[in-house]
Structure 1
Amino acid sequence: MADHSTPVHSSAATGFFQVLPEIKPQYTSPSLSSSAQSVSDDVVLARILHQYLPPQAQRDIGAAVHNLSRRVLHPSMLRHAVEAETNPPTLQTFTTFGKENRDDPLRTCEGWKALKAIGIEEGVVSRAYDQGQTTHNRRVEQFGLGHVWSHTSTLTMCPMSMTDGAATLLQRHIQDPDGDQPGRHAVLVESYRRLVSSDSREAWTSGQWMTERTGGSDVSGTETMARRLSAEELAVERSTGCDQDAIGQPLGPWRIDGFKWFSSATDSDMTMLLAKTAKGLSCFYVPMRRRVAGSSSTELNGIRIQRLKNKLGTKGLPTAELEIKGARGWLIGEEGKGVKEISAILNITRIHTATGSASYWSRGLSVCRAYSQVRKVRGRFLYENAQHVFWMARETVKYWAATHFVFFGAALLGCAEQGWDAAVRGSAAEKLIPRDQRARDALLRLLTPVMKAQVSMAAVSGLREAMECLGGVGYCENYEDGGILNLAKLFRDSVANTIWEGTASVMAEDVRRVLRDKRLGGGHALEAVFTPWVKDVLQPCQGVFAEECSIIEERLQALFSAVQGKDEHELEYRGRDILEHLEAIACATLLLYNASSDGNQVARHVASRYTWSKALPHSQYRPKQRDWKYEAEIDYLIFLGENFSAGRAQQVKL
């Protein structure tokens, strides 16, 4: 008989309710998995750790990444992240009766503080400086952890990246003699120790202050001034008890006055900044706080927070305009050579910016995979929609390329700090990373601005696509359920990475300088360094990927045409084209190398698809025409993985 029952309307408490997607841990260590199939949700991260780390390090570091990838999904962690986003910093400039609040004008929430402490304890900075680890690439270890942490850290990785840069800079000067700054050596030793500590009770974070109202990356118009205090002035400071920082170290002999227009990590313990002296732009170390004369309390060290910035994203991060009036600091390096000194920080923070962008993107795709497995449309799961899976597979290919790119940068950085034997020997990257130090250094210098520009922009695009995958849900600020589906937040935060530490245009200018730098390949970095590296790496890939290697060769020739014989004005004009060529060639090379290492079918599909997507319009090579059903099965493998079981998984051969 026909069912003539009356349809029941929905209500606030009845009717359809979408199943909450289950976000899986990003990385699963084979040695720690209880499952017969120990497969990471983020397949490319697993392949990268396997490529750059020797076997024992894969087990040890893999365990740390395994555990953190689960910790970030714990409800307590997610609550910290939501609080840091929804309870942003506030500024209380004055006390109740109108006196300037020099003690604690900046207030941050407990969630923000907890996330900073967790990052410190997990070693997101300290692991790169552990001198006891000499058998693997410490930067790959550090950024491997960062990859499963940044997307949940709610921008606490911003101060951590600047802390990393400050530690690198101080490390270079820690053995400098005091000279005419008595006591500086001891100050730098203690400050460095705290910057690289994994004990959150004593660890420090650092800011980096360069930007002024005259212009972002153009520091030539810096209006912050520094002058050396006279012996008489220093004596007065000592007599009044105003000459120690918050932990009792002596304050530096320089006085700094000025205004910084965009200063992130304002709640840090110290900062590195640029100021003009009689000899030009110079670099200074400045503690954030100093002791109050005749008291056990502390106050800001000649720093007044004018106002907090109201930004599109990065809501939990205290970014401020600062007036500097009588701050005491120490000159770092040679007076008048501050830009050279601060560049040590920029090289680190730019890699952090690129790797952080890839981390955000990874979470976005993880949400898409989980959502596609539970969301039904017209009676079918999204993963059963061939167009949807094709779209997501295309995005996954882009993500793999970007992630390989940034980890190559991290690996080169580790080699620069540790040497080839300590950082590479015994790993599957032995034929990927040049043994020659000059070649490695030149590659790192050339590719750092490329990955910073291109990966940051690609992640914004990728996260927008991920938002669309969820439809209206993706556009909402989803703070419920620990905010695990809040892709809008990740999108907003990721946009900052395209601007901070230099826009794509600034990065293009930087690449232009590298191409003409006589210290790098004699002013011929493309011919002497980049091209030999590409050809050496691709040589063993020719057997399986002959046409793909030819496509890369065509891109190389196009890059030469864009650079060779061009004057500075034309190079400037073609700057972004040059960035795109370098990115396409480097990413394709890295993907093909990795795919050739073990014959994994998904890695081969990804490498081939990415390379073909970068073929020039006039290329003489054309991809093979395959049946759409065959291509759809490849899409399925790339997006959802080889081990996803839905009753239709097939083995597909390249």
Structure 2
Amino acid sequence: MAAKLERQPSSATTGFFQAYPVIPPAYTSQTQQASAQSGNAGSDDTVLTDILKLYLPNPLPTALDKSLHDFARTCLDPGTLRLMVDCEISHPTLHSLNTFGEANTINPLRTSEGWRGLKDIQTKNGIVARGYDGCSEAGKYNLRIHQFALAHLWSPSCASVSCPAAMSDGAAILLSKHLALSSNPSTPGQDPKVLRGVLQAVYNRLVSFGPDYAWTSGQWMTERPGGSDVSRTETLARLASTEELSAEKVTFGKEDADGVGMPLGPYLIDGFKWFSSATDADMVVLLAQTKKGLSAFYAPMKRAKIMPDSTRVAVMNGVRISRLKNKMGTKGLPTAELEIKGMRGWLIGEEGRGVKGISAILNATRLWTASGAVGSWGRGLAVARAYAKVRKIKGEQVLAENRQHVKWIAGEIVKYRACAHLAFLGVALLGIAESGWEVAAKGTNAGSWMPKDKKEAEALLRVLTPVMKAQCSLWSTLGLRECMESLGGVGYCENVEDGGVMNIARMLRDSAVNSVWEGTTNILAEDFVRVTKGRAGEQAVACLDRLIVRMVGTVVAFFEENAHLVQWRWGALKAWLASTATEKVLYQGREVLQQVQELICSLLLMIQAGNTGDSLDRTIADRWIRSRFGQGRELLHKGSLEVESENDRRIFLGTPTAGTQGMRSKL
């Protein structure tokens, strides 16, 4: 009888230890991709590269390519990850009173070193600034694609500092619209020349690359009565009287300027905001009721005050933080309830038309939400892929050799790629709406089917943004849950060691807010119905129809059957929208959002496959269409096991990797 193998017990320091997965950067410069394939570190996620080739000049401008390559590595740098972990374990704190019990109006909110450090990295790399003309040295192209590509890379590493970036971007869009006007509406008590100077100075700070100069913006709309229903806003604004302004000068030591010396607005604002993200912002855009209705205002967070000892300090501009929110995720992000009493602000735009004015911010932040959600999902899949390559499951077999596991995550990657293309379609439309087709699309692979008219791009953005925000938010949260499960117990743990790059649990918690803030899925469904069934509904649907017709025309030559299937499905949905009562459409609003998502994603994936001619891209498009249009069950067992599993492997792992060719299904 053969002697039994003697085993030694494991201990805390001996026995098996899992090899640590290596998470590669999410983007590699086009000039280095060839060497990456030869063995140097490169990206294992090609979707961002594919999107850039679709909407930007090819080859990419060198400076743009380099900025993305370098920033992808910054996002995984140990110093960046240390700051991210610090945000997770060092939460914001509120210090309402000073030593002797007097109200602390100077620095009541304290954020972590990690939060402040990540904001500095964000500003230096132009996460907001890259989206604006004059802020890029790489030439004329769709600046928004460059900007949101950076945001895609940044989202999973930034501990939600992208939230104030999104609101700052929205505020910059709003201010730029007013600065572009030859004159602003005349308002009693508000000097238009002074207002213009203030808005220009604020805009310059919002789009700055300098951490010591740049500002971030808050966005205050949510109140206790209405949530997303801003018509029930209880915050009030009125022009201050001469007597009130004189009394303020006594209180603040003859100072009538904000914290950096700019003139304060003539309006006094009072109310209570129930949910304000990025409470450490330098400024805010908010809604308040006036005699003429709901209006939009700009206000700085700080104003100047001369203290008894003659020192000049910046104090809160009529804002008191009532309490910080205790949230499921986004722990480093200071979210608060705010009491506003005597806040000085400027009316922006026409009095009583605030909802229309602030919609520019809302559309931008919804697009940021969709894009950021997809970016975090991409990191989760990168972790799942890296883990599968090293996790031993039977003898020397690794998880990446298990057919069932690879099939599962390959299915998730198809969904991720579809949503990534959907989000960046919105980004591309934003670029055209701002800069025009000649600058933002001409000569690109998408130029032939993207709208050439700015107004049409704006209309499409208005129709599709609710779809993008709703569906990308929902699907990314579900996708991150799958990524968490793919790591087993490790995925369920809050892994803050080793830079926290393995902490999918944190990303899952953070992602849950995406389907809540800036409108829940039901609110977005209502928004979509309002656009497509409202007064301008026919024109909105016609714009979408023209886009789909152009996209179908682009792919019909090499995807004839699927192109006609999508066209038929769109025709049926379009006819149903036209003939069905608004209440019935609203009743099925969530299903309508999903149908539009499925149609647009099908076309985008087919366009991608047509551009590259790659069989893998074609497989991804076929799988998406098969799964979304009801053919999946019928074809489930008809494909060859060897062919299908090889396609799974290519979708999941990309090019052949040593040790993964001989895939087994043994558990």
Q: What TM-score comes out, normalization by structure 2 length? A: 0.94
1:300 paired with 2:316, answer yes
CA contact (8 A) 2:401 2:661 kept: no
Matches for 1:207-286 after TM superposition, within 5 Å: 207-238=218-249, 240-286=253-299
Structure 1 residues 647, 304: closer, same or farther in 2, change over 3 A?
Answer: closer
Counterparts of 1:618 and 1:468, CA distance in 2: 24
Measured after TM superposition, the shift of residue 40 of structure 1 is 2.7
Report SS of the residue matched to 1:377. Answer: strand
1:627 paired with 2:630, answer no
Q: Which residue of 1 aligns with 2:200?
A: 189
CA contact (8 A) 1:308 1:321 kept: yes
- Structure 1 gaps of 5+ residues are none
Structure 1 residues 344, 474: closer, same or farther in 2, change over 3 A?
Answer: same
- The one-letter code matched in structure 2 to 1:170 is L
CA contact (8 A) 1:562 1:578 kept: no
Measured after TM superposition, the shift of residue 459 of structure 1 is 0.2
- The one-letter code matched in structure 2 to 1:447 is L
1:162 paired with 2:157, answer no
Q: Which residue of 1 aligns with 2:9?
A: 9
Q: Which residue of 1 aligns with 2:117?
A: 114
Measured after TM superposition, the shift of residue 517 of structure 1 is 3.8
Measured after TM superposition, the shift of residue 132 of structure 1 is 6.0
- The one-letter code matched in structure 1 to 2:477 is V
Measured after TM superposition, the shift of residue 296 of structure 1 is 1.2
Which moves more between the two structures, 591-600 or 350-359? 591-600
Report SS of the residue matched to 2:450. Answer: coil
- The one-letter code matched in structure 1 to 2:554 is P
Report SS of the residue matched to 1:315. Answer: coil
Q: Which residue of 1 aligns with 2:54?
A: 51
- The one-letter code matched in structure 1 to 2:443 is G
The alignment-based identity, stated in percent, is: 47
- The one-letter code matched in structure 2 to 1:594 is Q
CA contact (8 A) 1:166 1:206 kept: yes
Q: Which residue of 2 aligns with 1:30?
A: 30
- The one-letter code matched in structure 2 to 1:62 is D
Matches for 1:74-93 after TM superposition, within 5 Å: 74-93=77-96
CA contact (8 A) 1:227 1:277 kept: yes
Q: CA RMSD in A?
A: 2.0
Measured after TM superposition, the shift of residue 562 of structure 1 is 3.6
Counterparts of 2:341 and 2:554, CA distance in 1: 60
CA contact (8 A) 1:302 1:326 kept: yes
Report SS of the residue matched to 2:390. Answer: coil
CA contact (8 A) 2:184 2:349 kept: no
Counterparts of 2:37 and 2:160, CA distance in 1: 36
- The one-letter code matched in structure 1 to 2:593 is L
Counterparts of 2:11 and 2:168, CA distance in 1: 52
Report SS of the residue matched to 2:103. Answer: coil
Structure 1 residues 29, 271: closer, same or farther in 2, change over 3 A?
Answer: same
CA contact (8 A) 2:401 2:660 kept: no
- The one-letter code matched in structure 1 to 2:29 is S
Q: Which residue of 1 aligns with 2:412?
A: 395
Counterparts of 2:381 and 2:29, CA distance in 1: 20
Measured after TM superposition, the shift of residue 437 of structure 1 is 3.0
Structure 1 residues 439, 596: closer, same or farther in 2, change over 3 A?
Answer: same
Report SS of the residue matched to 2:140. Answer: coil
Counterparts of 1:54 and 1:624, CA distance in 2: 42
Which moves more between the two structures, 179-188 or 339-348? 179-188
CA contact (8 A) 1:280 1:337 kept: yes
Report SS of the residue matched to 2:157. Answer: coil
Measured after TM superposition, the shift of residue 392 of structure 1 is 0.6
Report SS of the residue matched to 1:57. Answer: coil
Counterparts of 1:609 and 1:5, CA distance in 2: 48
Report SS of the residue matched to 1:579. Answer: helix
Structure 1 residues 625, 557: closer, same or farther in 2, change over 3 A?
Answer: farther
- The one-letter code matched in structure 1 to 2:611 is S
Matches for 1:71-150 after TM superposition, within 5 Å: 71-131=74-134, 133=136, 135-150=140-155
* Correspondence for 1:577 among 584, 591, 606: 591
Counterparts of 1:35 and 1:491, CA distance in 2: 30
CA contact (8 A) 2:222 2:228 kept: yes
Matches for 1:322-341 after TM superposition, within 5 Å: 322-341=338-357
Report SS of the residue matched to 2:320. Answer: strand
Measured after TM superposition, the shift of residue 616 of structure 1 is 3.8
Measured after TM superposition, the shift of residue 444 of structure 1 is 1.1
CA contact (8 A) 1:556 1:585 kept: yes
Measured after TM superposition, the shift of residue 19 of structure 1 is 0.7
Measured after TM superposition, the shift of residue 529 of structure 1 is 2.0
* Superimposed CA distance per residue, residues 539-569 of structure 1 (whole angstroms, 9 cap, x where no aligned partner): 2322322222133134214423541211121
CA contact (8 A) 2:552 2:567 kept: no
* Correspondence for 2:158 among 144, 153, 158: 153
CA contact (8 A) 1:40 1:46 kept: no
Counterparts of 1:185 and 1:238, CA distance in 2: 23
Q: What TM-score comes out, normalization by structure 1 length? A: 0.95
Q: Which residue of 1 aligns with 2:212?
A: 201
Measured after TM superposition, the shift of residue 618 of structure 1 is 11
Matches for 1:422-461 after TM superposition, within 5 Å: 422-461=439-478
- The one-letter code matched in structure 1 to 2:516 is I
Counterparts of 1:644 and 1:99, CA distance in 2: 65
* Superimposed CA distance per residue, residues 58-104 of structure 1 (whole angstroms, 9 cap, x where no aligned partner): 53322111111111111111100000111010001111221111110
Counterparts of 1:178 and 1:586, CA distance in 2: 40
Q: Which residue of 1 aligns with 2:361?
A: 345
Counterparts of 2:107 and 2:354, CA distance in 1: 30
CA contact (8 A) 2:532 2:540 kept: yes
Report SS of the residue matched to 1:26. Answer: coil
Counterparts of 2:437 and 2:658, CA distance in 1: 42
Counterparts of 1:538 and 1:649, CA distance in 2: 39
Structure 1 residues 42, 130: closer, same or farther in 2, change over 3 A?
Answer: same
Counterparts of 2:609 and 2:470, CA distance in 1: 25
In the alignment of these two chains, the number of paired residues is: 646
* Correspondence for 1:466 among 483, 496, 502: 483
Counterparts of 2:560 and 2:353, CA distance in 1: 48
Matches for 1:406-417 after TM superposition, within 5 Å: 406-417=423-434
Measured after TM superposition, the shift of residue 5 of structure 1 is 5.4
CA contact (8 A) 1:258 1:324 kept: yes
Report SS of the residue matched to 1:117. Answer: helix
CA contact (8 A) 1:515 1:525 kept: yes
1:70 paired with 2:81, answer no
CA contact (8 A) 1:538 1:592 kept: no
